[in-house]
Structure 1
Amino acid sequence: MNHTIRQLALIGPTASGKTALAIKAAQVLDAYILSIDSLSIYKEINIVSAKPTIAERQGVKHYGIDFIAPNEDFDVTTFIRLYEDVHARAMADNKNLVIVGGTSFYLKMLMEGISKLPKISEETKRRTTEAIKDLPKSYEWLSTLDLDYMQKISSRDPYRIEKALDIYFETGMTPTEYFKTFPPKPTIQSELPIYQIETDRELLRKRIALRTQIMLEDGLIDEICMLEEKYTRAPNCMKAIGIKETLAYLDGIYDREMLKEKITVNTARLAKRQTTFNNSQFDNVIKGSVLELEEKLL
C-alpha cells in the first residue's frame, strides 16, 4: 500500500476564485479537497464564510469544512490532525489531494511543522499558575534565563509566557534549548507544488463588493442573528470579518448601505494582508491568473 499520492496546494486572497478552481482541479485529478480556512471550518457559518454549497462541490469530497461548532476553539494542531487523517484516507481510497484556502498560515505550519511540547505534570501546572500571577516578574525572570527567546515574545503575552514557564519547570531546559533538542517536524513530507492566484487589485475589490452584495441577498443578516442567539458573541469566530460588522448593524451603528461598505473595505484589507503573507512566506510558487493556473493544472 505504499504508493504515493499527488498533492498540490492552491492559495490566494479571499474572493480570488480559489474554490471553483480547486473543484475543477480535484475533478480532473480525482482528488479530495482539504480546506484550510479559519471560517469554513465551522458548522452553521455558511454564508459569511463563502464556503461552497453542496451543489457547488460537484460530488468532490471536502474536508476541513463544517468540522467544529462555532463555540469550539481550534488552533494549528487541529489542521495538523485533519491533514494526517485526510492524507491517510486519500491513500486508502487511492485519491489525490488538493489543499486550498485563504488561511495560508496553517499551510505554512503544515510544511514547517511545530515542535511537540512536553507533557505537563500537575506539579508544573501549579507552579506555572502561581508564577503567571505576576506576569512582568515572570517575564523578567525568564529573560535572565533565555534572553534570545523572550525577546521574540511580548511581555504582555500570557499565553506564550505560560508555555515558556511550562517548558522550563517541566524539563529544566530553557525554551531555546528545548526547541533545539526537539526541532519542529514537517507534517507534509512529500513534494507539494503551490499554485498562487494573482489578481488585479481593482478587479479583486469589485469581486469583493459583488460577493458582499450576494451574501446580503442570500440572508447574511439572518445567519448572524441565528449565530448570536445560539452561541452569543463570546466565541472567537464572532469577531470575524462579515460577522462583527453585521453585529454593529444589528446594534444600530450602521445602516444597511454602510454595512455593505464596511464589510467590503475590511475584506479588501484582509485580501491585501493575505497577499503580502503569501508573497513573503512561500518559495518556488507557481503564480498566475485563474485562467493561467487552470491551464497549468488541467
Structure 2
Amino acid sequence: MNSTAVSAESEKPRVVAVVGPTGVGKSALAIELAERFGGEVVNFDSVQVYRGLDIGTAKPGPEERSRVPHHLFDFLEPWEEFNAAAYAEKAQRVVREIVARGRLPVLAGGTGLYLKALLHGLFPVEVPREIREALRQRLEKAGLSALYAELSRVDPEAARRIHPHDRVRVLRALEVFYATGRPFSALAREHAFRESRFQALKIGLYLPREELYRRLEARVEEMLSRGLLEEVRGLLSRGLSPELKPLQSIGYRHMIAYLTGKLPWEEAVRLMKRDTRRYAKRQLTWFRADPEVHWFQPQEKEKIFRLVEKFLSS
C-alpha cells in the first residue's frame, strides 16, 4: 500500500464493533469498552430498534444505559417499516456525530447485514417491477415456505443465513437472483471487499457450543420469568397484528402461538429454545465468514482491551 493510501485510510473515523451469537455477552462488553475508551454504544440489532419489545430482545435496561450513552434503540413503532439501507443511513449520521464529539463509536448487535450495510453500503440492484410483482403474487398464493424452499434451491448459501420467516429478506434474495441471474450470496460476497467507510476493529465473542447452548436455555427461562408472556400480551392488546415483522422474531412468535392456542406452553418454550440455538448458529456462520473479525472468549477481556488500545493508538 502506498503512502497516499495509508494516509487516506488513517483519516477515516475509527469504530469498534462487537459481534457474535446471541447471548454471548456482546452488550456487556460494548458498555465496558465504551466506559474504558470514552465511547458511546450504537445498536445494530434489527429488533431492538422497536419500542415495547424489551424482554424478548434482551435490550439493555435503564441501569446499563445510564453508564454510557446508547443510540438507535427504541426509535421505531413495531408497525414501521425498516431495513438495512435505512439503518445504514441513520447509523452513519449517528457514528459521525459521536466522532465529532471526540468519542469512540462502539457498535454492538447481532444483525450482520446491518453492520455490513453501515461499513460497506449495500450493492444496488435494479429489480424490474414485473419480477417484484410476480414474486409477491406467488407469496400470496403459495406462501412464504414455498419461496424459502425455492431460495434454498437457487441460493443455498443465502438460505442458510436467512430465517425462513424473514419475508423481506427471502423476497429480496429471490428478486436479486431473478433480476441478475446470479445468487444474492455471490454478489454480497463480492461487495464485501468494497472499501469501508470507516476504520473498523471487529471483535467477535464466542463460547464452546455446549456452554453457549446452556447459557441460551437459561436466558430463555430468564426472559419468561421476567414477564415475556405479559409483554407480548400487552403488545397484542394494543391492536398490533401478530404478522408484523418484529412480532415474528424469536420469542414473540412463540408466545403469540401459545396465546392464540396454536401451541401448548411446553411446546412453545421448547421451540423458542430450539430456534434460539439455531439463530445463534446462523449468526456464527455469518460472522465466521468475515476474516477481519478477531475472536475471543468473553473472559479474555485484558486481551481485548490491549487490542483496542493498539487499534486506537496506531
What's the TM-score once normalised by structure 2's chain length? Answer: 0.72
Separation of aligned partners in 1, 2:29 and 2:270: 27
Counterpart of 1:276, as a letter, is T
Corresponding residue of 1:62: 70
1:259 counterpart = 2:276: no
Equivalent residue of 2:113, what SS? helix
Q: Is the 8 A contact 1:7 1:98 kept in 2?
A: yes
Counterpart of 1:43, as a letter, is R
1:51–1:130 CA distance, 2 compared to 1 (3 A): closer
CA deviations on 1:224-278 (whole Å, 9 max, x unpaired) are: 1122232121211111110111111112344433333221111011111111111
Separation of aligned partners in 2, 1:161 and 1:252: 33
Counterpart of 2:244, as a letter, is P
Counterpart of 1:240, as a letter, is S
Corresponding residue of 1:250: 259
Q: Give the 5 Å matches for 1:6-155.
A: 6-116=14-124
Corresponding residue of 1:234: 243
Separation of aligned partners in 2, 1:198 and 1:134: 41
How far residue 88 of structure 1 moved from its aligned partner, in angstroms, is: 1.9
Q: Is the 8 A contact 1:113 1:187 kept in 2?
A: no
CA RMSD of superposed structures (Å): 3.3
Corresponding residue of 1:284: 292
1:131–1:45 CA distance, 2 compared to 1 (3 A): closer
Counterpart of 1:92, as a letter, is A
CA deviations on 1:111-138 (whole Å, 9 max, x unpaired) are: 33224567x9xxx96x888988998xxx
How far residue 161 of structure 1 moved from its aligned partner, in angstroms, is: 7.3
Separation of aligned partners in 2, 1:158 and 1:271: 23
1:129–1:247 CA distance, 2 compared to 1 (3 A): closer
CA deviations on 1:164-207 (whole Å, 9 max, x unpaired) are: 99x9xxxxxx899xxx9xx9696842321111111011111111
CA deviations on 1:129-163 (whole Å, 9 max, x unpaired) are: 8988998xxxxxxxxxxxxxxx7799xx8657777
Corresponding residue of 1:223: 231
Q: Percent of pairs identical after alignment? A: 27
Q: Which runs of 5+ in 2 are unaligned?
A: 1-9, 139-153, 159-169, 307-314
1:132–1:28 CA distance, 2 compared to 1 (3 A): closer
Which structure has the larger Rg over C-alpha atoms? 1
1:207 counterpart = 2:212: no
